[in-house]
Amino acid sequence: MNTEHAKERELRALMIAGLNGDAAAHRALLSALSGHLRAYYRNKLVRSGRGPEEAEDLVQEALMAIHTRRDTYDPAELLTPWVYAIARYKLIDHLRHSRSKQANVPIEDALDVMAADDRAATESSLDLTKLLAKLPEKVRLAIRYVKIEGLSVVEAAARCGISESAVKINVHRGLKALSAAIAQDKAK
């Protein structure tokens, strides 16, 4: 009966470890959340005749938002409502800016974002390479070295010829810009 509580406790522990710089915990958190987000968005979208690809776009958008805005999570609070608020915000924003506004998507359902889990991923329509190409070169390189090739910040700083803190700032800004670019893509 207490699976919800157990889930919350487990995910929150992963979140807090991730906030302290634990990459494995962060990966485990994002991976677990992606299943819940997928089930949530598919439930909302596919029922009204939209493809699973659109749901996957939203899963990725929400994951980006969760990652780039994780400094807005207050460790003293529950994690589930924070994740749900982001998931719901991204859904509403998506519906407002996607062409088929009229489709009847039930947003106000009390369905909890953690209620179901769906691991059957499809590919999203988002193209990381194309999105990266929109960023300024310094920012793009910082993300490529640190986040894709997995170089340390020190190595990336040496390759770019800038300071370590500049690399960190570029990565952070770049991910936020990517997040924004995805949202803008939708608005078109």
Residues binding another protein (CB under 8 A): 18-24, 26-27, 30-31, 34, 38, 56, 59-60, 63-65, 67, 69-75, 81-82, 84-86, 88-89, 93, 121, 123-124, 126-128, 143, 146-148, 150, 152-153, 168, 171-172, 175, 179-180, 183
Q: How far is the CB of 173 from another protein (least distance, A)?
A: 12
Q: How far is the CB of 54 from another protein (least distance, A)?
A: 13
Cα dihedral across residues 64, 69, 71, 76: positive or negative: negative
Q: How far is the CB of 85 from another protein (least distance, A)?
A: 3
Closest CB to another protein among residues 1, 107: 107
- CA-to-CA distance for 170 and 176, rounded, in angstroms? 10
Helix axes 80-97, 52-68, angle to 10 degrees: 130
Q: How far is the CB of 4 from another protein (least distance, A)?
A: 16
- CA-to-CA distance for 83 and 100, rounded, in angstroms? 26
Closest CB to another protein among residues 38, 44: 38
Closest CB to another protein among residues 100, 122: 122
Which residue, among 125, 123, 46, has the nearest Cα to 91 in the 3D structure? 46
Token pair, residue 112, equals 């909890």
Cβ atoms of residues 49 and 103 within 8 Å: yes
Closest CB to another protein among residues 63, 139: 63
- Identify the burial level of 88 via C-beta atoms within 10 angstroms of its C-beta, where 0-12 means exposed, 13-18 middle and 19 or more buried: middle
Closest CB to another protein among residues 4, 127: 127
Helix axes 23-45, 52-68, angle to 10 degrees: 140
Q: How far is the CB of 45 from another protein (least distance, A)?
A: 15
